[in-house]
Amino acid sequence: MENNKQTNFTVQKTEEQWKKELTPEQYYVMREAGTERPFSGKYNMHFEEGIYSCGGCGEPLFSSESKFDGHCGWPSFDREIEEGKILEKLDKSHGMIRTEILCAKCGSHLGHVFNDGPTETGLRYCVNSLSLDFEEEDSK
């Protein structure tokens, strides 16, 4: 899939730069639109308070307040932290029609969004842990 090969993202890096900065597993997911194995990601059943950001550029994407157990094997959120942080693209790969989600700042593949969420938004952003970093909320 070539969706993340666009040139209009704020963060611009060559594929060689991405390969140096990301682990091979992260590169596969974020730059080649791969998927980590279900239930294998470190943030699947992670419910600490804080902010989940893009593993490629550090852009804040999701708040722990929007995270829920989607029983799907990947971290699930019902909304982005702020409108415009997530870019949606039609994905017709693997014989399915889905909505791919990308970081709007660097174009990294995050996962997919589905209209089967259990909250009032009705959305389930199904995200690869390998696409995310987490910063715990400061105790005050």
Catalytic residue ranges = 126
Q: What secondary structure letter does DSSP report for 119?
A: S
**Residue 103 marked in a binding site:** yes
Q: CA-to-CA distance for 136 and 82, rounded, in angstroms?
A: 18
Residue with tokens 């959305």: 123
**Residue 106 marked in a binding site:** yes
Long-range Cβ pairs for the range 110-114 (8 Å, 24+) = 110/30, 110/54, 110/61, 110/86, 111/35, 111/74, 113/86, 113/88
Query: From the annotation, which residues make up the binding site for Zn(2+)?
Result: 54, 57, 103, 106
Q: Which residues are annotated as a binding site?
A: 54, 57, 103, 106
